[in-house]
Amino acid sequence: MGRVVFLTGAPASGKTTVARLVLERLAQAQVPTLWLDSDDLRKVLTPNATYSDEERDLFYGAIAHLALLGVQGGVTVVISATANRRRYRDVIRAQVPDFTEVLLECPPELRIERDPKGLYAHAREGSIDLLPGFGVPYEAPEHPELIIDSGTVPAAEAAARISAHLGLA
């Protein structure tokens, strides 16, 4: 049976960057993996995304299903997704015995500064009104296995902490 590592946090908190580094460490340890990144999956699952509550329910339901299939296949599934509602992450936690939730915390001003997609600028302009943490609530995990301040902890160190939690050298 596989496991899930779910990296969550507000947009531009470093989820994709840290996930990529965790995946490199898993590959070095010859651990079979599946990466479910919301930016990548959104292109396929909701190419004309509206970010409505109904669409988010569908989107995160699909991610949960894919994660469960990966776990049943014996791989480590790494998910990098905001998943702004706690229930999206809790669905997977309830189905997967070996579940690690990692909250990447980052101050809003730094997220805005390093936002690679310009989401916060669009939200300020009013062209995006459903950005988690900026117009739509982001519900942080209540009891994540790890909390990492991605505003002060470099991505490589964050990946090292996650890897250590997973029992990798």
Active site residues: 80
Q: Helix 15-28 crosses helix 155-165 at what angle (to 10 degrees)?
A: 50
Strands 3-8 and 135-136, sheet pairing: unpaired
Please tell me the distance from the alpha carbon of residue 155 to that of residue 136, in angstroms, as a whole number: 26
For 131-166, give the DSSP string: EETBEE-----SS-SEEEETTTS-HHHHHHHHHHHT
Which element (helix H / strand E) includes 9?
none
Q: Give me the count of residues in the chain.
A: 169
**HSE-up of 71 (CA within 13 Å, CB side)?**
21
* Per-residue tokens: 50: 């509206």
